[in-house]
């Protein structure tokens, strides 16, 4: 089994701190890239990053990347997917080689509009094919034996909470458990299942809400177990975030025209909060159901449609509001699926897959090359970008802060933003 140290060491993208320092004098290839990035940090961290927002869309269950971004002319694709392969005529072609699933009209439009970066083959060394383990790896940047229970965004938000002024640094929308990516010992991110649920019903009828606050904050709880402190922090965060969100939504009653789907509704609330100038920097939403072991075609098509339509409506709304340059929307899944289809008209758990970044600052087009279909890793696509390189780009180039400590090592950012020299 992989241990944590190997996980770090074997990633060819992790730059050892010592190499990094020597590199900036010795000008190795990596050193050159890194020192460039160092000067970039110094020049931009101050003003232009101050309105920037990152929205994460998590496709839960393992999205079939190969049927999302399709190498439609590749014979090996046809051979591996005799039943599930998307006919060439149906593919939304981007170039002579690649195109999107027919449900992804919204993605194709975004690329047409110059607002979509697709990074090929994102994964990590020694892929874990368990949903939960792999999701935890994406969330924490560590493997299980490191026993890290804080997420990369949690660590980022806890270190830079001043970026959101008095608002919540991050918000999670959904009924599922809060994603580990947002977890931090020092900062609690509010989870919002439904906006109505954010109001304490008792508070409507009485002046009791005034009585509650000091109760929540009452001292003398220090000698008790840390679960009490944890629960208490959760209630205080609920009070504060709830109040502010109610205020903001009251001041912006206009409902953007979004698809009436689960994801559409979540992104519509996010859009209202952003345009009402909430200072929150991280929004996290999920879309579940991508674990398509059986009868994949209809289910996958409908999920991709939901995702791509919601994403396209969201970007369009921000465009109208003149906010596309302040926002990036990052979509990922815990793994892709096996190249070969299975006998149940489905696909089993795989490894590397593309990730998607939409926004005015996304470098439009494909980054990297589509993973080879004849050089597989135990039946799965090989990765060429470590997911922590993607994170490094968000942390360092989008938010303009140091990423090493947050990611556990230095990673070479991948240039999917047009803020970065190619």
Contact positions with another protein (CB under 8 A) in 279-308:
288, 291, 293-295
Coil, strand or helix at 349: strand
Strand 282-288 with 53-60, pairing: parallel
Should residue 221 be labelled a site residue for another protein when binding is judged by CB under 8 A?
A: yes
- DSSP class of residue 175 equals S
Q: Does residue 202 interact with another protein by CB under 8 A?
A: yes
Q: Which is nearer to another protein, 96 or 219 (CB)?
A: 219
Based on CB atoms, which residue is closest to another protein, 27 or 295? 295
Q: Angle at the Cα of 128 (from 126 to 130), degrees rounded to 5?
A: 175
| Residue 177 binds another protein, judged by CB under 8 A | yes
Nearest residue to 292 (alpha-carbon basis) of 221, 238, 345: 345
- Smallest gap from Cβ 89 to another protein, in A, equals 27
Among 348, 364, 401, 419, binds another protein (CB under 8 A): 348
Residue 85 DSSP class: P
Output 79 or 221, the one with its CB closest to another protein: 221
We find the least distance from the C-beta atom of residue 271 to another protein, in angstroms, to be: 20
293 burial class (0-12, 13-18, 19+ CB within 10 angstroms)? middle
User: 95, 96, 166, 210: which one contacts another protein (CB under 8 A)?
Assistant: 210
Per CB under 8 A, does 418 bind another protein? no
For position 265 contacting another protein by CB under 8 A, the verdict is: no
The CB-of-31 to another protein minimum distance in angstroms stands at 19
> Is 204 one of the binding residues for another protein (CB under 8 A)?
no
Q: What is the distance between the alpha carbons of residues 4 and 10, in angstroms, rounded to a whole number?
A: 10
Which of 180, 267 has the CB closer to another protein?
180
Q: For residues 403 and 393, what is the distance between their CA atoms, to the nearest angstrom?
A: 9
Stretch that binds another protein, among 39-47, 110-118, 320-328, 403-411 (CB under 8 A): 403-411
**Where in 7-66 is the site for another protein (CB under 8 A)?**
8, 17
Residues 130-149, interacting with another protein (CB under 8 A): 130-133, 144-147
Q: Interaction with another protein in 97-136: which residues (CB under 8 A)? A: 128-133
Helix and strand totals (H; E) in the chain: 14, 14
Let me know: does 416 contact 357? Beta carbons within 8 Å. yes
Find, among 195, 285, 198, the residue nearest to 242 by Cα.
198
Instruction: Report the C-alpha gap between 118 and 107 in whole angstroms.
Output: 10
């Amino acid at each position: 089994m992989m241990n944590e140290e190997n996980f770090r060491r074997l990633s060819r993208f992790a730059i050892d701190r010592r190499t990094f320092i020597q590199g900036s004098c010795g000008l190795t290839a990596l050193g050159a890239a890194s020192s460039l990035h160092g000067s970039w940090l110094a020049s931009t961290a101050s003003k232009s990053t101050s309105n920037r927002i990152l929205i994460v869309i998590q496709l839960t269950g393992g999205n079939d990347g190969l049927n999302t971004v399709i190498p439609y002319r590749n014979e090996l694709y046809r051979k591996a997917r005799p039943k599930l392969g998307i006919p060439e005529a149906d593919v939304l072609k981007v170039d002579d080689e690649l195109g999107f699933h027919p449900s992804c009209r919204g993605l194709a439009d975004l690329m047409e509009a110059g607002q979509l970066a697709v990074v090929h083959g994102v994964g990590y060394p020694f892929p874990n094919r368990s949903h939960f383990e792999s999701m935890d790896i994406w969330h924490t940047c560590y493997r299980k034996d490191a026993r890290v229970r804080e997420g990369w965004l949690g660590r980022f938000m806890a270190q830079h909470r001043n970026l959101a002024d008095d608002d919540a640094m991050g918000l999670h929308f959904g009924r599922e458990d809060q994603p580990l990516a947002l977890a931090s010992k020092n900062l609690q991110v509010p989870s919002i299942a439904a906006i109505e649920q954010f109001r304490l019903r008792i508070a409507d009828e009485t002046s009791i809400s005034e009585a509650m606050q000091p109760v929540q904050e009452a001292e003398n709880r220090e000698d008790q177990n840390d679960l009490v402190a944890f629960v208490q922090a959760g209630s205080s965060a609920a009070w504060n975030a709830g109040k502010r969100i109610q205020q903001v939504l009251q001041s912006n009653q206009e409902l953007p025209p979004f698809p009436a789907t689960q994801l559409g509704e979540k992104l519509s609330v996010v859009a209202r909060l952003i345009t009402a100038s909430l200072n929150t920097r991280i929004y996290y939403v999920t879309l579940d159901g991508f674990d398509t072991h059986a009868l994949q075609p209809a289910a996958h098509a409908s999920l991709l449609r939901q995702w791509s339509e919601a994403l396209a409506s969201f970007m369009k709304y921000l465009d109208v509001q003149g906010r596309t340059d302040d926002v990036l929307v990052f979509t990922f899944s815990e793994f892709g699926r096996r190249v070969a289809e299975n006998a149940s008209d489905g696909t089993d758990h795989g490894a590397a897959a593309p990730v998607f970044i939409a926004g005015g600052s996304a470098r439009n087009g494909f980054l990297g090359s589509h993973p080879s279909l004849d050089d597989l890793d135990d039946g799965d696509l090989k990765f060429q970008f470590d997911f922590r390189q993607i994170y490094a780009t968000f942390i360092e180039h989008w938010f303009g802060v140091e990423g090493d400590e947050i990611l556990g090592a230095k990673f070479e950012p991948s240039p999917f933003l047009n803020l970065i020299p190619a």
